[in-house]
Amino acid sequence: MQIPRNAMLLRIFLGENDRHGHAPLYEAIVLKAREHHLAGATVLRGPMGFGHSSRLHTAKILRLSGDLPVVIEIVDSEERIASFLPVLDGMMRSGLVTLEKVQVLVYGETRLTPLSA
């Protein structure tokens, strides 16, 4: 799979308890991204955070939350990310979705530009 040097980062913020059918939403999104042949996806679980409700979610022992923050990051071309957004919209009820332009320096074993650039 090829990925352009000038690409787009799709970042999705949600809670680990968010669901899509019977599956965790983060899992359903990653599987759907794979099904759409996007370049890759990574799920990051946060130890602490809050969202639009301002309710604090934390992994601290005395304030254990069962709904820790989760971030999914997907990088691909702007066109491929744009075509995935309607799919994502149909899966999410709430959360935060951001886009930003990024430069890809290395993808797999392919170096697209010197790292010192």
pTM of the entire structure? Answer: 0.85
Q: Which residues are CB-neighbours of 51 under 8 A, at least 6 positions away?
A: 13, 15, 69, 95, 96
Torsion of the alpha carbons at 11, 15, 19 and 23, rounded to the nearest 10: 80
CATH number of 6-111: 3.30.70.120
Q: What is the pLDDT tens value at each position of the chain, 117 positions in all?
A: 778 899 999 999 999 999 999 999 999 999 999 999 999 999 999 877 777 776 776 666 555 556 789 999 999 999 999 999 999 999 999 999 999 999 999 888 877 777 765
What is the C-alpha separation between 26 and 16, in angstroms, rounded?
Answer: 7
Residue boundaries of the structural domains of the chain: 6-111
